[in-house]
Amino acid sequence: MITHELLEHLKKEDPHAWERFARVGIVLFGFEDQTNYTLTSDIGLAWMQFVLQDAIKNRGWDYVVRSTNSCIITERNEDESDAVNTFSDFPAESLLLAYLDILDRGDVSVSKLHDLEKTTSINQTDI
C-alpha cells in the first residue's frame, strides 16, 4: 500500500513523475477524493512501479527491485556509498521510498531535470 502522504511527497519532489502517474491513476484507480487517497490495487501499484522505474532510468540512476520487496537505487558513479536500500510490503512502495530518499538529499542536477521533462512526456496515445 502506498499512503496518501507518500503520494503527496512524490507530487512535491517530482511533479513530472506524479503527473505521469496521475493522468492514468486518477482515472483508473478511483482517486475521486484527492485529499485522502491510498494506492492499494495491484494494477495501481504496477503502474506506479513502472512510472518510478522510468523516472529513475531517465535520471541515469541504477535500481534493483528484489522479490523480497526490497529495493536499491544508486547513482551511476564509482562511489557505492550513495546507495539507498529500502524494504516494504510492496515492491512499488519500496521503490518509492528509495526514490524519495534520494530526491530529499538534494543531489539531483537541475539541468538533468529539465532534460528529463523534455524527453519523457507522455501522450494520450502512449497510455
Per-residue pLDDT tens for 56-81? 999 988 898 887 777 888 766 555 55
State mean pLDDT over 101-117: 57
Look at residue 86 and tell me whether its pLDDT is greater than 80: yes
State mean pLDDT over 38-52: 87
State mean pLDDT over 31-51: 78
pLDDT value at residue 31 = 59
In this structure, the strands spanning 84-87 and 70-75 are antiparallel
Return the domain boundaries, the chain: 4-114
Residues in the chain: 127
pLDDT value at residue 74 = 78
pLDDT value at residue 24 = 82
Q: What is the pLDDT of residues 13-32, one digit of tens each?
A: 999 999 999 888 766 766 55
Q: What is the DSSP string of the chain?
A: -B-HHHHHHHHHH-HHHHHHHHHHHHHHTT--STTS--B-SHHHHHHHHHHHHHHHHHTTEEEEE-TTSEEEEEESSS-GGG-EEEE-SSHHHHHHHHHHHHHHHT---HHHHHHHHHH----GGG-
Cell numbers that stand for 38 in this block: 491510498
pTM: 0.75
Which residues have CB under 8 Å from 126's CB, separation 6+?
Answer: none
Look at residue 123 and tell me whether its pLDDT is greater than 50: no
Number of Cβ within 10 Å of residue 4's Cβ equals 15
